Amino acid sequence: MSGDLYFIDDLSSRERLDAGHQRPARLAVIGCPVAHSASPRMHQPALDEAGIDARYVKVEIRPGEVAEAFERMRRLGFIGCNVTVPHKFEALAACSAVDPGAREMGAVNTVRFEPGVIRGFNTDGPGFEAAVEEAFAIPLGGLAVLIAGAGGGAGGALAAHCARAGVRRLVLANRSLDKIEALARSIHHHHPGLPVETFELDDPGLAPAARGCGLLVNASSVGLKADDPSPLPAACFAAGQRVFDTIYQPPLTAFLAAAAAAGARTANGASMLLHQGVHAFRLWFPGSDPGPAMRRGLAAG
């Protein structure tokens, strides 16, 4: 264990996991990397305010370790966990039961441990929709939406949610076409009337398609590092667009900077983190109202 960051070996026993702490770790976010996650900053205040005897921790899990991590958490009496990149596909496969919405999205970002069951959900879509409406004061339904990085777990979830929310057009962009073409076929199966287009990120046809969209979204991990470029070229952005980055740390990515330079309105993923976290907390503790405590925790930094 290093600070408040744990690893899979720390899930070997309660003695190791909880050494030096009065309260047990019973909730977590898993990812790789995960040290940057702000999830504990919002979930811990909500637990404290509700009088729940539990810690929310960060656990760095390597690809291929998700099923083992879930089993160790279940044995240790964890209530649940959040799942971030790159584990949302692996988490889906590692669950013994999956909520129908998460199944359609093809990814799991929230897990609840029940007696004999590891149950998966996805709160990315509802969190994203609430964040877009909060940031831009406009409903998601009816917009033409482009999602960059749609081949990943978060991107696929957002695309599927956009389709259910009633967007009028969906443009999917990714480094390679194979994943997004399968996603487009799935969306067409569930929503046959929705126009769906697919582009590789270096396709010259992407820029005019992007400029015809009212909302551009980065759902990839490009931007997590300070020197990452924008996943979309500058020609994709236009004045008056709404541009949303699911990344919240760093708060200003090259994607958002390029959009702002073109005259677009921008928002980062901090509000999405908040809203998907509220949904997740209510899956673990039905009837709770964690929003105000979570918002204060994130604002406190």
Active site residues: 88
How far apart, in whole angstroms, are the C-alpha atoms of residue 141 and residue 164? Answer: 9
Q: What are phi and psi of 170, to 5 degrees?
A: -130, 125
Cβ atoms within 10 Å, residue 266 = 21
Distance CA 8, CA 65 (A): 8
Owner of token pair 């240790």: 76
Nearest to 219 by CA among 124, 287, 110: 124
**CA distances in angstroms from 70 to 9, 73, 74, listed in the order given:** 13, 5, 6
CA dihedral of residues 98, 99, 100, 104 (deg, nearest 10): -70
What Å distances lie between residue 139 and 53, 129, 217, CA to CA? 38, 8, 15
Query: Which residues, in sequence order, are CB contacts of 36 under 8 Å at separation 6+?
Result: 224, 249
